[in-house]
Structure 1
Amino acid sequence: MSTDLHIPEYLQDCELVAAEDLARSPAFWLAHVLMAMGEYEEPAEPYGVDAAAFEAMVDRLSDPDEPWPVLRVGCGGDHTVHVVYVNWEDCSNVDFFVRHPAWGRLGHLGQCGADAAGPGLSWTELLALATGVPEGGEGLTDPSERLLLLLPLLGDADLPGEAHATVARALSHCGIRREAAGDLATVLLAGQDPVGGPRWTIPEGSPVAVCSAPYSPRRVPLALGITPDQAEALAAVLGGSRPGGGAGGG
């Protein structure tokens, strides 16, 4: 059952609703990854997803007359990543941000859709958020679901060799036909350029990695302005990135 949400720092004139129940359907996962790429007109049947269910899911995720769906990834130390399907009358986006109740601000990770901004996560950070499931946390608790929900934020020139198999397993686990999961993983990771792709480094004065990509909100430290202790706690949630510690996920 859906539950109304209030995110005090999310200053949009909208109604928000918790929508983790959508994650039970393979149609959601196919819609999520394809819509984030701008490829939502892709046929659903080759992926083992019912076409009518897929079309209904796309309509729900982009309906400006309904409350905006929000899916959450609870993390350690009371941090929560929110994924909001933003649906104005004239455009749709997907907002990704991290929140802590003590910050008084949001940490903007990225955005997919008409006003795209990213990337927002390195591979190391994506895996840390996917697998770092706290006890009693809110939102999604399945590591494969958490990984796929945040996958559109990925941008990393230093992807490890196992990244493709990891994404393919997550797709299969979430209901994508096993024979098609590998091909879809290839498509979803195709933009990860090992030569000119984004690099992640630890800046002076912050333990949280920053990104080299020109349109990434993470060209500056995430949640800029939080206290040093809060930044250390955030870095731990993101995989404990430190200089020389492989912030880029190699």
Structure 2
Amino acid sequence: MTMGLHIPEYLQDRELVASEDLARDPVFWLAHLLLTIGDPGEPTEPYGVDAAAYDAMVDRLSDPELPWPVVRIRFDGGHTAYAVYANEEDENNVEFFVRHPRWGRLGHLGQCGADDARPGLSWTELRTLATRTQDGGEGLTDPSERLLLLLPMLGDAALPAEARDVVARALAHCGIRADAAGELAATLLGEPDPDGGPRWTVTEAAPVAVCSSPYSPRRVPLALGITPDQAQALATALGGTRAG
């Protein structure tokens, strides 16, 4: 069952709909990941997903005539992460941001699509958001679903060796064929780039890490303009980030 959704700091002329019910369908996860990271035209049967069902899901997620689907993740300190399928007549984007009801603004992680801007999360932050569930309220609570929802925002030159296995287990848990999950995980993560990949550092300006990538919204502190106490609370909720 879906319901209308209001995000005070977001676009007020767009109808939004809470869409966590999509997470029960493996077809959603394949569509979400191929639309944002992979090749949306890739054959889907090897992953255990019927092609017609996949096409129908892509149509549902990108239809500008329908309310925009929103999937949420609540995490520590009263924060919420959002993925919004923002569908205009002439372009489609998936926008990712975080919000706290006391900020009066959004913290933009990035977006995928016509106006691509990322990465928005380090591996440490992604794992933290996947596993630290705040009780109460709406949103995804399953760690595998939370990880896959935010995976398109990942960019980190220091990915650990176990990253592929972690993502593969999440894919299999969410209904992707187990014998194909490892290959898909490798495709989604891409080739490691320890020399030129995005790096995350904490600066004197704010306790929340910033990203070295020129294409990342997080070249400046996340939710720039919040109070120092709010920034520290956000940094803690994101699990802290290694320096250097």
User: Normalising TM by the smaller chain, what interval?
Assistant: over 0.9
- Residues 122 and 247 of structure 1 are in contact (CA less than 8 Å); yes or no, is this contact kept in structure 2? no
**Unaligned runs of at least 5 residues, structure 1:** none
**Where in structure 2 are the equivalents of 1:148-227 lying within 5 Å?**
148-227=148-227
Structure 1's consecutive aligned runs of 4 or more residues displaced over 6 angstroms after TM superposition are: none
Q: 1:247 Cα deviation (Å)?
A: 5.4
Letter in 2 for 1:218: R
SS in 2 for 1:145: helix
Q: What are the equivalent positions in structure 2 for 1:107-186 lying under 5 Å apart? A: 107-186=107-186
Distance 2:44 2:223 in 1: 37
- The 1-side partners of 2:139 and 2:197 are apart by 31
TM-score, with length taken from structure 2? 0.97
Distance 2:119 2:223 in 1: 15
How far has the Cα of 1:121 moved from its partner? 0.2
**Where do 5+ consecutive residues of structure 2 fail to align?**
none
Identity value in percent:
72
Q: How many residues align?
A: 244
In structure 1, C-alpha distance between the alignment counterparts of 2:105 and 2:72, rounded to whole Å? 17
* 2:38/2:187 contact within 8 Å kept: no
Deviation, 1:137, is 3.8
Matched position secondary structure for 1:209 = strand
Q: Distance in 1 between matches of 2:156 and 2:203?
A: 17
Pairing 1:83–2:83 present: yes
Query: What SS does the aligned partner of 2:232 have?
Result: helix
Deviation of 1:168 (Å): 0.3
Cα RMSD (Å): 1.1
Q: Describe the shift of the 1:247–1:33 C-alpha distance in structure 2 as closer, same or farther (beyond 3 A).
A: farther
Matches within 5 A, 1:43-54: 43-54=43-54
Q: Which amino acid aligns with 2:218?
A: R
Letter in 2 for 1:129: L
**Could you say which residue in structure 1 is the equivalent of 2:63?**
63
- Provide Cα deviations, 1:78-125, integer angstroms capped at 9, x if missing partner: 100010001000000000000000000000000000100010000000
Q: CA deviation at 1:38?
A: 5.4
Please state how far the C-alpha of 1:180 moved relative to its aligned partner. 0.4
**Alignment CA distance shift 1:134-1:141 (3 Å):** same
1:219-241, Cα deviation, whole Å (9 max, x unpaired): 00000000011001100111023
Q: How does 1:6-85 map to 2 (within 5 A)?
A: 6-37=6-37, 39-85=39-85
Counterpart code for 2:158: D
